[in-house]
Amino acid sequence: MNIGARLEAVAAMVPQGCVLADIGTDHAYLPVWLLQKGRIKAAVAADIAAGPCRAAQTNIGMYGLKDKIQVRQGSGLTVLQPGEADGAVIAGMGGSTIIEILKESPEVAAALKFLIVQPMAGAAGLRKWACANGWRISDEALAEEPQHLYEIILLEHGHEADYSDAEYEIGPKLIKKCPPLLAKHFDKVQGTYKRMLDSMAKSQQAQQTEKYKKLQELYAGLEELRHECGCK
């Protein structure tokens, strides 16, 4: 089974021999692949919608893994009891949605040994929230598929350093590791803020706002980080 670069990067962070909850599982590709590789003991594949749950059941049956993967329909981590899974993957959702999932089930989240998140947007806000709410960033990775660059973040419980806004945008572990895709990641993040600054620069009134000043400071911080990382 080919699961693509995004899910392969997610899978690479899953600890050997764990019981995994895959939240927003869609077709259950990730737990099926991990079980095929002998990487996990068992899994709960969960989705809020009936259609993806049916697709997951079909896929699981096709690979003869019904005794290893339970499919559950429900919202986020509410499908789990505390301690039922060693860790969870929440991939392919917005950062704010992931935060709401964790807020919705604090007891379940607190019992997880690890959490792997792959936000489609809002990664900086998710990092900042996690670090302020008892999680530390243990590892990060980037994955590229046609037209998309993805951030994957491994969170574990613990105390975390206070990072700058620019570090939250890029990812402190990515800065430390300096992976091959880091320059593209800088391009993507900086491009977003450059377009915002260019648009606001056309208005004298916008240039006087606190938002414009903060965006300028953030962009300068990103430029400084990029120079420190040696990304061209």
CB 86 within 8 A of CB 113: yes
Q: Which fold has domain 4-162?
A: Rossmann fold (3.40.50)
The model carries a pTM of 0.95
Q: What share of the chain is helix, strand, coil (3-state, %, to 5)?
A: 50, 25, 30
CA distances from 191 to 31, 79, 197, 215 (A): 35, 39, 10, 12
Q: Specify the pLDDT at position 232.
A: 66
25: exposed, middle or buried (Cβ count in 10 Å: 0-12, 13-18, 19+): buried
- pLDDT tens digits in sequence order for the chain, 232 residues long: 899 999 999 999 999 999 999 999 989 999 999 999 999 999 999 999 999 999 999 999 999 999 999 999 999 999 999 999 999 999 999 999 999 999 999 999 999 999 999 999 999 999 999 999 999 999 999 999 999 999 999 999 998 888 999 999 999 999 999 999 999 999 999 999 999 999 999 999 989 999 999 999 999 999 999 998 887 6
CB 40 within 8 A of CB 18: yes
Tell me 48's DSSP state: S
CA distances from 130 to 97, 138, 162 (A): 13, 12, 11
